[in-house]
Structure 1
Amino acid sequence: MSAQEKPANLLQQLRDFPLFAGVKDSALQWLIDHSRYRCYAKDDYVFREGDPTDHMQIILEGSFLIRREKGGRKRELGVWEAPYVTGVLPFSRMTHAGADGLALETACLLELHRDLFVEMVNVSYTLVQALVGAMTDRVRDFQQIRLMDEKLLALGKMSAGLAHELNNPASAIVRSSQALHKHLAQTPVRFKQLVTMRVDADAVDEVNRVLFDRIQARSDTSELTLMQREALGDELLDWLEDHDIPQADDLIDTFIDWDFHPGHLDAIAEAIPPEALAPVIWWIDTSLTTESLVSEIQTASGRIAELISSIKTYSHMDSEPSMEFIDVSEGLKSTLTMLKFRFKQKNVSLNKETQPNLPNIKALAGELNQVWTNLIANALDALPADGTGKISVRTYQLRDNLCVDIEDNGSGIPADIQSQIFDPFFTTKGVGEGTGMGLDIVQRVLKRHGGTVGVESQPGRTCFRVCFPL
Structure 2
Amino acid sequence: MSEQTQIVPSQQINEALFAKLRKAPILSSVKDDDIRCLKGVEEVCLEAGDFLARQGEAAHYFWILLEGDITFYQTTPEGEEIALTSVSAGHSFGEVPLLANIPNAASLRAAGHCCLAQLDEDSFWNLMTTCPGARTAILSNMASRIQKLQSFTVQKEKMASLGTLAAGLMHELNNPGTAARRAASQLRENLLRLHEISARFSKTEMTHEQKECMFDLQEHALAGGHPVLMNSIEQSDAEEALAEWLEAHNIENAWKMAPTLVSAGLSAHQLECAQHAFSGSTLSDALSWLDALVSSMQLVGTIEESIGRVSDLIYAVKSYAYEGKAKNQAVDVNKSIHATLVILGHKLREKEIVLEKDFAADLPPLLSDGTGLNQIWTNLLDNAIDALPQGGRIGVRTWAEKASAEPAHSRTDICISISDNGLGIPIECQAHIFDPFYTTKPIGVGTGIGLGIVHRIVEQYHGSIHFSSMPGNTEFVVRIPSATPEK
TM-score, shorter chain, exceeding 0.5: yes
Is residue 215 of structure 2 the alignment partner of residue 193 of structure 1?
A: no
Contact 2:227 2:298 in 1 (8 A): no
Which whole-Å CA distance do the structure 2 matches of 1:453 and 1:336 have between them?
20
Q: Which residue of 2 aligns with 1:391?
A: 394
Alignment CA distance shift 1:37-1:26 (3 Å):
farther
CA 1:240–1:308 in 2, change beyond 3 Å: closer, same or farther?
same
Question: In the TM superposition, what is the alpha-carbon distance from 1:362 to its structure 2 partner?
Answer: 1.2
2:455 aligned residue (435, 443, 446): 443
Q: Contact 2:53/2:109 (CA < 8 Å) preserved in 1?
A: yes
Q: Which moved more, 1:12-21 or 1:27-36?
A: 27-36
TM-superposed deviation, 1:448: 2.6
Distance 1:25 1:48, change over 3 A: same
2:254 is aligned, of 248, 254, 260, to 248
> Does structure 1 conserve the Cα–Cα contact (< 8 Å) formed by 2:77 and 2:445?
no
Structure 1 residue matching 2:265: 3-state secondary structure: coil
Q: In the alignment, is residue 306 of structure 1 matched against residue 318 of structure 2?
A: no
Answer with 118-127 or 253-262: which moved more. 118-127
* Contact 2:424/2:470, CA 8 A, preserved across alignment: yes
Please tell me whether the aligned partners of residues 199 and 273 of structure 1 are also in contact (alpha carbons under 8 angstroms). Answer: no
Q: Does 1:403 align with 2:450?
A: no
Asked if the contact 1:90–1:131 (Cα under 8 Å) also holds between the matched residues in 2, the reply is: no
The total of aligned residue pairs comes to: 465
- The CA deviation string for residues 160-216 of structure 1, in whole angstroms up to 9 with x for no partner, is 122111111112223233333455454443332222232146633541332242233
2-structure distance, mates of 1:455, 1:405: 9
Match in the other structure for 2:351? 346
Q: CA deviation at 1:309?
A: 0.8
- 1:172 corresponds in structure 2 to 179
Task: Tell me which of 146, 155, 160 is aligned to 2:162.
Answer: 155
- Shift in CA distance, 141/94, structure 1 to aligned 2, threshold 3 Å: farther
Give the superposition deviation at 1:76. 2.3
Deviation at 1:306, TM superposition (A): 0.8
From the superposition, tell whether residues 51 and 411 of structure 1 become closer, same or farther in structure 2 (CA, over 3 Å). Answer: closer
Query: 2:476 — aligned with what?
Result: 464
Equivalent residue in structure 2 for 1:216, among 212, 218, 223: 223
Tell me by how many angstroms 1:312 deviates. Answer: 1.2
User: What's the counterpart of residue 284 of structure 2?
Assistant: 278
1:452 to 450, 459, 464: 464
Q: How far apart in 1 are the matches of 2:445 and 2:230?
A: 41
CA-CA distance at 1:462 after TM superposition? 2.5
Q: Write out per-residue CA displacement over residues 342-372 of structure 1, whole angstroms, 9 at most, x where no aligned residue.
A: 2212211122223333332313585332222
Unaligned runs of 5+ in 2: 9-13, 403-411, 483-487
| 2:437 is the alignment partner of 1:425 | yes
Query: 2:103 is paired with a residue of what secondary structure?
Result: coil
Aligned-residue offset at 1:313: 1.6
Give the structure 1 partner of residue 105 of structure 2.
98
Rounded Cα–Cα distance in structure 2 between residues aligned with 1:121 and 1:350: 52
Corresponding letter in the other structure for 1:45: F
Does the 8 A contact of 1:40 with 1:103 survive in 2? Answer: yes
Cα distance between partner residues in 1 of 2:475 and 2:218: 53
Output the CA distance in 1 between the equivalents of 2:124 and 2:275.
101
The match for 2:68 is: 62
1:95-143 C-alpha deviation (Å, 9 max, x unpaired): 5322123333332333333332355457743223322322333333333
Q: Which amino acid aligns with 2:99?
A: S
Secondary structure at 1:133's aligned position in 2? helix
CA distance in 1, matches of 2:325, 2:148: 28
Change (3 A) 1:431 1:202: farther
Alignment check: 8 A CA contact 2:34 2:132 kept: no
Pick the aligned partner of 1:371 from 372, 376, 393: 376
Structure 2 CA distance, aligned partners of 1:115 and 1:264? 95
Task: Give unpaired runs (5+ residues) of structure 1.
Answer: none
The answer to whether 1:355 aligns with 2:360 is: yes
Say whether the 8 Å CA contact 1:194–1:283 is kept in structure 2.
no
Equivalent residues in 2 for 1:253-332, closer than 5 Å: 253-272=259-278, 276-316=282-322, 320-332=325-337
Counterpart contact for 1:316–1:366, Cα < 8 Å? no
Letter of the 1:435 counterpart: T
Question: Identity, % of aligned pairs?
Answer: 29
Q: Supply the AA of the counterpart residue of 1:217.
A: G
Check whether the contact 1:315–1:366 (CA below 8 A) recurs between aligned residues: no
Per-residue CA deviations over 1:22-73 (Å, capped at 9, x if unaligned) read: 23445546659841331312x3333332344333233222223222122424
Deviation of 1:230 after TM superposition, in Å, equals 3.6
3-state SS in 2 of match to 1:262 = coil
Is contact 1:166-1:304 (8 Å) kept? yes
Inter-CA distance 100–33: structure 2 relative to 1 (3 Å threshold): closer
Q: For residues 87 and 463 of structure 1, what CA distance do their matches in structure 2 show?
A: 36
- 1:426 partner amino acid: Y
Q: Secondary structure at the match of 1:299?
A: helix
TM-score by length of 1: 0.86
Q: Helix, strand or coil: the match of 2:448?
A: coil
CA drift of 1:307 comes to 0.7
- What displacement does 1:308 show? 0.7
Query: CA deviation digits over 1:241-261, x for unaligned, max 9?
Result: 333323433322322333321
